[in-house]
Chain A
Amino acid sequence: MKYSKKVMQEFLYPKNMGEIKNPDGVGKIGNPICGDVMWIYIKVGKNKNKEEIIKDIKFKTFGCAAAIATSSMITQLAKGKKLKDAKKITRNDIFDSLKGLPSIKMHCSNLASDALKKAIEDYEKKKNEV
C-alpha cells in the first residue's frame, strides 16, 4: 500500500484542523471499531448575493493517514462554497484532489463527504427549528 505524495502532504501537514467554538453545524461520523472517527464543524455565512456559504470549517479525526488526508482535503474543497454546492462534493472529488487513494482506503473518502453532508444537515435542521 502506497500513498500519493499529495495524501502524505495532507496527512503530515493537515489544513483546518481543530474545532470551531459555537459551530452552526457539526457532522459526526464513523466508528472507532473500524478505526475511523471524523467530526466536521462548520460556520455558515452569506456571500454578496445573500446565498449561504461555508464561511469556516474545521475537522477532528481519529484515523489513519488516509482518514486525516481526506478530512483535510474536504475542508479545503468546501471552504467558501455555497451550501448547496458543498453538499454535492463527492468521494470522487476528494479522490481526484488527493491524486488517488489505495483501493482499501476508498471508504475514508466516503467518510469525509458524508461527514460534511451531516454537518450541513445539522445546520439546516437547527435553522428550521428556530
Chain B
Amino acid sequence: MKQIYFDNAATTKIDERVLKEMLSYFNEKFGNASSVHEKGREAREAMEKARKIIAKSINAKKSEIYFTSGGTESNNWALKGLFFENYPEKNHIITTKVDHDCVLNTCKWLETQGAEVTYLDVDEEGFVNLEQLKNSITEKTIIVSVIHGNNEIGTIQDLEAIGKICREKNVLLHTDACQSFTKVPIDVKKQNLDLVTLNAHKIHGPKGVGAIYIREGIRITPFFHGGGHERKMRSGTENITGIVGFGKAVDVANKKDIEKMKILRDKLIDGILKIENVRLNGPMGNKRLCNNINVSFNNIEGEAIGGYLEQRGIMTSTGSACASHSLESSHVLKAIRLSPIQSNSSIRISISKFTTDEEVDYFLKTLPGIVKKLRRLSPLS
C-alpha cells in the first residue's frame, strides 16, 4: 500500500540534496573541528559555511549562531541560561499557554528554582493578547518567550509587534521558531529578536541538530560546560555531519515550495470543511503555517480517526487525550477554548514540499467514509 506521510510537523524526510551533502562527513571528512590539522580544518570550514547560511537566513551575524542538539536544547538553554544569569536580581519569565512542552516544562521546573512565570492567554485563533503581554512585564522580567509558528494549530504570532513591546519595555524576546523557520520570514533586526531557537529536522534536515541565535552582547550562562566549544558557550564536539546537513537544508529551502504548500493546505482545508460538523482550529490564510491543518470532527475521537486513516496508508497525528502519554488532551486546544470533546476529536495534518496533489485527492476521497463510519459508532451523534 502507498504510504502518505501527513505528519511533517513531527518530523520530515531528509531532502536528497541534504543527504548527499552529509555523506562524506561520516567517513572521509570525519575530523574534529577543534583539531588544527587538515582534517580538523576541513570540518571547521564546513561548519562555518553552514553557520553563515543559517545566520544570513535570519539576518544575523555568523558569530550570533550557536549549534545545539536541537529545538529542545535551544529552548532549555535560552530560558535556564538567562534565568541563572539574572537570578536573584530578576526572576520573572513570560511565556504563553500555547508554547511547546519543552518551553512550558522548562518554565515549570524553573518555578521550583525561584522563577515567577506568567503564562499568557491567547484568543480563539491562538494569537497572544498583546495588551496582557504589555501589562505583565515588570522590573523583575528577564525574558518573554513566544512560539513563532504553533506546532499544533499553525498560528503565526506577530513577532514584530511583540518585539516592539519588548524593546520598549527593555526586556529580552526569545522565540521558538522550530516550525516556522524557512516557512515564515524571520529577521532578527526588523522583529527585534534577542534569541531564536532553530532546528534542522523539521525542514528536511537531520535529527539531533539545531541552533540558537543569541544577539551579540547578551549575557547568558552556558548550558553545557566542557572543552569550550562554540566560543566557550556550548561545549561538546560539534556534530559536523548534522551541521552540514542543517546548512544545506536551509540553503535549498525556497519560496516556491511555500507557495505550493499553501495551495495544497487550502485545498485540504476546503475539502475537509465540506464534511458536516467540522471545525478548523487556528486561523485561515497567511497567518497560518503553510503546512498545518488542524480540525475537530464532532462526536468522534481523534485517535480512532487516525487509526482508520493509517489503515488506508495515511499518517497523521492527534491532540486527543487518548493518544497522549498522560491521557490529557492538548494544552494548545484547551488554550483556544475548545471543549474537552472537541480537543479529543481533533487531528493534525501537516504536509511538506514533497506532498502531491494526488495525495491530497486520495486523502479527501478517503476521509468522509471514515468520519461517517465512526459517527455511526458514536453514542454522541
Report which A residues bind B (CB closer than 8 A): 8, 11-12, 14, 17-18, 28, 32-39, 60-68, 104
Binds A, one of B29-37, B115-123, B189-197, B300-308: B300-308
Shortest CB distance A64–B (Å): 4
Within 8 Å CB of A62, what residues of B?
299-301, 378-380
Q: Is B1 an interface residue (CB 8 A)?
A: no
Contacting pair B378 A60 (CB below 8 A): yes
Cα A16 to Cα B322 with chains together (Å):
23
Q: Is B366 an interface residue (CB 8 A)?
A: no
Q: Is B252 an interface residue (CB 8 A)?
A: no
Contacting pair B340 A12 (CB below 8 A): no
Q: Secondary structure of the B side of the interface?
A: helix
Binds A, one of B52-60, B86-94, B258-266, B323-331: B323-331
Cα A12 to Cα B327 with chains together (Å):
22
Within 8 Å CB of A35, what residues of B?
301, 320-322, 327, 329, 340, 344
The closest CB in chain B to the CB of A63 belongs to: B301
Question: How many B residues touch the partner, as a band?
Answer: 20 to 34
The closest CB in chain A to the CB of B311 belongs to: A12
Report which B residues bind A (CB closer than 8 A): 299-301, 303-304, 307-308, 311, 320-323, 325, 327, 329, 340-341, 344, 376-380
Q: Secondary structure of the A side of the interface?
A: mixed
Given contacts A11-B307, A63-B322, 17 further A-B contacts (CB under 8 A): A11-B304, A12-B311, A17-B376, A32-B344, A34-B321, A34-B327, A34-B340, A36-B301, A37-B378, A37-B380, A60-B378, A62-B378, A62-B379, A64-B320, A65-B303, A67-B304, A104-B327
A28, A34, A65, A104: the one within 8 Å of B304 (CB) = A65
Shortest CB distance B238–A (Å): 35
The answer to whether A61 and B307 touch (CB under 8 A), given A32-B341, A35-B301, A104-B325, is: no
Closest 6 CB pairs of A and B: A64-B322, A64-B303, A60-B379, A33-B340, A35-B321, A39-B379
Cα A64 to Cα B319 with chains together (Å):
12
Cα A121 to Cα B296 with chains together (Å):
35
Cα A54 to Cα B380 with chains together (Å):
25
7 CB < 8 A contacts A-B: A12-B311, A18-B377, A60-B377, A63-B301, A63-B304, A63-B322, A66-B322
